[in-house]
């Protein structure tokens, strides 16, 4: 005989699938929502429902957006001659927090990770090469993948793919800790890493 009502058990199960949330935290969140006003739970449900319905990928840079193209790509005050290549949309948010970078972005949506079955064809690398070939304004590509094994492998692969393009390819300076993720870096570290980037 199950003592937990099925709707509660289902929500606990779904919440515990989220990264960093175990069964105990999922249970606490579920019972918090149960005690909270109906409007709060409804607002959360609505926000989750709108996530996939209203958010898409920019066709140019592949960052997440509500509008096409995204706000960065359509902003003519940004420096479109510099493209900063990052792994995930969270990395764009981290770099934007520094307020030091005024170029545009390209989001790969991952890194080359053969152990996990992720190859170059699974990332937005071909789209980056095509973008550079089609836009004569581009003069520099900043490779801002994370400073770990997969990030380095992806950076080297991109450098090889772009070696015939007439652009300067740079890498973020080593102000970032090896093995760390961009999304957890503080603004000062990221700012120094951007200003001290080096050519690959």
Q: Please state whether 109 falls in left (phi above 0), alpha (psi between -120 and 50) or beta.
A: left
CATH of 6-54, one of 3.90.600.10, 3.40.50.300, 2.70.98.10, 1.10.8.420: 1.10.8.420
- This model's pTM is above 0.85: no
Quick: pLDDT tens for 52-90: 899 999 999 999 999 999 999 999 999 999 999 999 999
DSSP run (H or E) holding 57: strand 56-57
Enter the tokens of residue 173. 């300076």
Cβ–Cβ < 8 Å for 153, 180? no
* Mean pLDDT (the chain, rounded): 92
CATH of 78-199, one of 3.40.190.10, 3.40.1360.10, 3.40.50.300, 1.10.1660.10: 3.40.1360.10
d(CA 41, CA 44): 5
Spans of the chain, pLDDT less than 70: 1-2, 175-176
Quick: pLDDT tens for 151-161: 999 999 999 99
């Amino acid at each position: 005989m199950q003592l937990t009502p099925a709707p509660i058990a289902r929500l606990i199960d779904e919440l515990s699938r989220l990264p960093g949330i175990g069964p105990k935290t999922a249970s606490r969140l579920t019972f918090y929502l149960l005690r909270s006003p109906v409007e709060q739970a409804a607002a959360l449900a609505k926000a989750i429902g709108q996530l996939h319905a209203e958010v898409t990928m920019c066709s140019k840079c592949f960052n997440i957006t509500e509008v096409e193209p995204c706000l960065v790509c359509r902003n003519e005050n940004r420096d479109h001659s510099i493209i900063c290549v990052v792994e995930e949309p969270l990395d764009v948010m981290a770099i934007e927090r520094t307020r030091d970078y005024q170029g545009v972005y390209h989001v790969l949506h991952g890194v080359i990770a053969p152990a996990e079955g992720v190859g170059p064809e699974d990332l937005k690398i071909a789209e980056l090469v095509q973008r550079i070939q089609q836009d004569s304004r581009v003069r520099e590509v900043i490779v801002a993948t994370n400073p770990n094994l997969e990030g380095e492998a992806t950076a080297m692969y991109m450098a090889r793919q772009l070696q015939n393009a007439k652009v300067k390819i740079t890498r973020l300076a080593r102000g970032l800790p090896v093995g760390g993720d961009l999304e957890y870096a503080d603004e000062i570290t990221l700012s120094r890493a951007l200003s001290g980037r080096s050519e690959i």
